[in-house]
Amino acid sequence: MYRDCYAAWMASQSPSATAAVVDGRAPRMRHAISTTEDSVAARVGMVGAGQLARMSLAPATALGIDLHLLAEADSDSAAQIARRVTIGDHRRPDDLLAFAKGVDVVTFDHELVAPEHLEALAAEGHVLRPAPASKRFAQDKRHQRERLGALGLPLPAFATVAAATEVEHFAEANGWPVVVKAARGGYDGRGVWVMDSSAEVAARWPECTAAGALLVEAFVTIERELAVLVARRPGGQAAVYLITETVQADGICHELLVPARVTPGRAAEATELGLRIAEIVDVAGVMAVELFETTDGLVINELACRPHNSGHWTIEGAATSQFANHLRAVLDWPLGSTALMADAAVTVNVLGPPDGVDPRDRLPAALALDGVSVHLYGKAARPGRKLGHVTVLGDDLADALSRARHAAALLTGEATS
Ligand code: ADP
């Protein structure tokens, strides 16, 4: 089937077919090496060329998948190293359509493509995995909370809000602090405002409304943050990874600990919740569900329909990485084992250090440590920006954590030896 598609695609690759000119600007295709029909197992198009796309390239290569990327610029993390890159804009329907025409299935490394553009691609007959209706759960926190709440799943108390007074009314009923969130487009804590008082709401309201549609939710006293990572094929076959404990600071994920330090009962509950949500969302591909563990049980925070930071440990730590399983899932191929490859796996994110130095300059020091896997994303170093991660496997979680932290500190310059 893919070969047939490929032949049809080859036939369509006249210059006029590849360059949809809009406003005098055409998406630019960069094919460093021509691919012969025989060497292609399948063509997956990934919209976005950030670090998630970058980490998808190795498993795509291993499986003989021709991974095409729609990148914004040659300098994007994955565009630097991929051989099939289209430079275009995911906000432009024509760029998306021209890109989709060259692949068998379209998937994503972010949540940013407008729902109407996703629907338009699907209406043209392109295969989107996840489908637009699934993607909407991850793109729109209001939709997600309304749909999951209606099914009785555990969520913080929430309300949609359009005025500062509505936030105050919500706080009167639920108590301070409250958390105001942008319904769309937030990441790494951007688009999340914890508010302690009416005065704070009034002062920060312009900043909130600039982010578009909003919701407010009760502030949850969190014992621990967890993530469930599920890979699911279009027909419903699913594979779930061991529950990941995530450690956040200032809204940014810093560390992943596997297995999470929770009771077996709690882990089973989280696993069941993740699988149930994957069914409800009808996801194809990898989905991550972020959960809060509280003294009263689990509460759903949010979900992502794509490989996710909480699954980076799976590259070395699981028999099949989240990136490999995402590709398998979107192609409706059998999923790989999610088994943990050691007793413990820890990932520590490498954030840009305050001195602005690129962690690449400090790489040898980290590589000198035994058993440390370093991933750098090729992104320009800026303080606080996620530039890479390190993973350590071991027979003891605390030991793996201390070694991974040490390696990350060597990369950021916080440690020198
Ligand atoms: P993002 O989309 O930026 O990842 P999240 O909704 O995951 O935003 O929020 C980022 C972090 O903010 C969470 O990991 C958690 O630490 C904190 N947070 C979010 N919602 C709440 C809440 N209702 N109560 C307490 N803390 C919260």
- Confidence at 188, pLDDT banded by 50, 70, 90: confident
Read off the pLDDT of residues 347-398 as tens digits, 9 standing for 90 and up: 999 999 999 999 999 999 999 999 999 999 999 999 999 999 999 999 999 9
Q: What is the DSSP string of 334-367?
A: PPPP--BSSSEEEEEEEEPPTT---GGGGHHHHH
Beta bridge partners of 299: 292
Rounded mean pLDDT, 35-60: 86
Show contacts of 5-12: CB within 8 Å, 24+ apart: 5/43, 5/104, 6/37, 6/40, 6/43, 7/37, 9/43, 9/101, 9/102, 9/103, 10/37, 12/101, 12/102
Residues in Cβ contact with 116 at an 8 Å cutoff, skipping those fewer than 6 apart: none
Rounded mean pLDDT, 253-257: 97
Residue 17 has pLDDT above 90, yes or no: no
The whole-angstrom separation of Cα 116 and Cα 107 is: 16
Closest Cα to atom 12, ligand 1: which residue? 251
Cα of 261 vs its chain's centroid, Å: 23
Candidates 112, 121, 119; CA nearest to 91 is 112
Beta bridge partners of 344: 394
Domains by residue range for the chain, with CATH: 11-128 (3.40.50.20), 157-218 (3.30.1490.20), 224-412 (3.30.470.20)
Q: CB of 220 closer than 6 A to ligand 1?
A: yes
Read off the pLDDT of residues 293-319 as tens digits, 9 standing for 90 and up: 999 999 999 999 999 999 999 999 999
Least confident among 33-42, 50-59, 313-322: 33-42
Closest Cα to atom 2, ligand 1: which residue? 187
Tell me whether strands 224-232 and 244-249 are parallel, antiparallel or unpaired: antiparallel
Handedness of CA 328, 321, 144, 266 (dihedral sign): positive
Q: CB of 179 closer than 6 A to ligand 1?
A: yes
pLDDT the model gives residue 395: 97
Cα of 404 vs its chain's centroid, Å: 22
Residue 211 has pLDDT above 90, yes or no: yes
pLDDT the model gives residue 251: 87
- Confidence at 55, pLDDT banded by 50, 70, 90: very high
Read off the pLDDT of residues 76-127 as tens digits, 9 standing for 90 and up: 999 999 999 999 999 999 999 999 999 999 999 999 999 999 999 999 999 9
- Confidence at 35, pLDDT banded by 50, 70, 90: very low
Residue 185 has pLDDT above 90, yes or no: no
Q: Ligand 1 pocket: which of 145, 225, 292, 305 to mutate (most atoms <8 Å of CB)? A: 292
Cα of 377 vs its chain's centroid, Å: 14
Residue for token pair 């914890």: 194
The whole-angstrom separation of Cα 377 and Cα 375 is: 7
End-to-end CA distance of the chain, in Å? 54
C-alpha 195 – ligand 1 centre gap (Å):
13
